[in-house]
Amino acid sequence: MLIPTAFARAQHLRHGVNASIWFAQSPNDYSAQRTDSYIDASDFALIAHMGCDNVRLSIDPEPLTRRPQVDGLNAEFLGRLDKAVDGMIANGLAVQIDIHPEETYKFRLREGREGVDRFVELWRHLAAHYASRDPELVFFEVMNEPEVQDAYRWQGILARTVAAIREVAPKNTILAAGGSWDSLQDLLALTPVADGNVIYTFHFYEPYEFTHQGAGWTANYYRYTHDIPYPTDDAAMAPSLAELQVPADRLELERYFLDHWDARHIRLLIDTAAEWSNAHHVPIVCNEFGAYRDHVQPAARAQYIHDVRTALEADGIGWTMWDYRANFGVVTRESGTPVPDAAIVTALGLKMP
């Protein structure tokens, strides 16, 4: 039986990592000096050696479209992206080319038409540029976490963008997600587009009380917590609640403990993604999951990552962990040499070099 292209291509996205805080999420420094050293050829080789088959390459659209331009893109920045993409492919890694904008760019998508027109035109140029690479290994992800809360509007933007990509890149597989935060809920609310060569994606960070404890960029109480256990341990509930001064925050954290988060809880949630996939006859992947390592107990973090990874694999869902070397990372690279975290490598079912 002939396997549809999207399902066959999903087999290239079984286990991978996000190359983050590199060509995206660093708006104050996209210089060649930084991008040439933050991740390099030695990292591609290590990622492949550990047993990964794909990398998600996040790209901020603003430096990509700065002037001067050639064919609508900044040639110097694009040249550095080419080096990264080709280096990954040379190591046998599939590449998810992910448009990963900052908040201002997303705002323009939510309001009016001009931002949407610019976004569609960006993809028309970018997809045309990478259409010459092996379509078995180069995937186009429409946008990371669009934050377009109007689901109807996002469906229209998504359909229009997919159509533009398909005009210039008829062979490449497209990755698409729901319109807000790429959450599991966003996936379940999404209607697949009228294109058979699309893989649908979602992110999984539940429960945020555990995965984002101590995260200073969050707008809620998570930033004030640390050493929250996983699986939940009732003995730790009282001291954890005592860290919070606001009663509503304490109630929310108390619910985390009372919900008894463990491997079974996670598996039941992941099962809903598999059910959506089966109902719509489309493939899915989870291209972000992980836990912030700065304020979490290392053993609990490894157990959580193991439980999410095995739940995904039990449902036949490929994954790309967030992330490679930043504060959710599988390696540290502060000294210049990437050093894998053995506990996380094991939790991911990968192999140490």
R_g of the chain, CA atoms, integer Å: 20
For residues 111, 24, 56 and 291, what is the CA-based torsion angle, rounded to 10 degrees?
Answer: -90
**DSSP SS3 for 40:** coil
Q: What is the pLDDT of residues 251-268, one digit of tens each?
A: 999 999 999 999 999 999
CATH superfamily of 5-207+262-347: Glycosidases (3.20.20.80)
Q: What's the pLDDT score for residue 220?
A: 85
Residue 7 pLDDT exceeds 80: yes
pLDDT digits (tens, 9 = 90+) for 61-76: 999 999 999 999 999 9
For the residues 151-158, what does the mean pLDDT come to? 96
Tell me: the pLDDT tens digits for 285-318?
999 999 999 999 999 999 999 999 999 999 999 9
pLDDT > 80? residue 2: no
Domain limits, the chain: 5-207+262-347, 214-260
Closest CA to 318 of 135, 58, 76, 53: 53
The model's confidence at residue 350, banded by pLDDT at 50, 70 and 90, is: very high
What is the pLDDT, as a whole number, of residue 1?
A: 60
pLDDT level of residue 28 (50, 70, 90 thresholds): confident
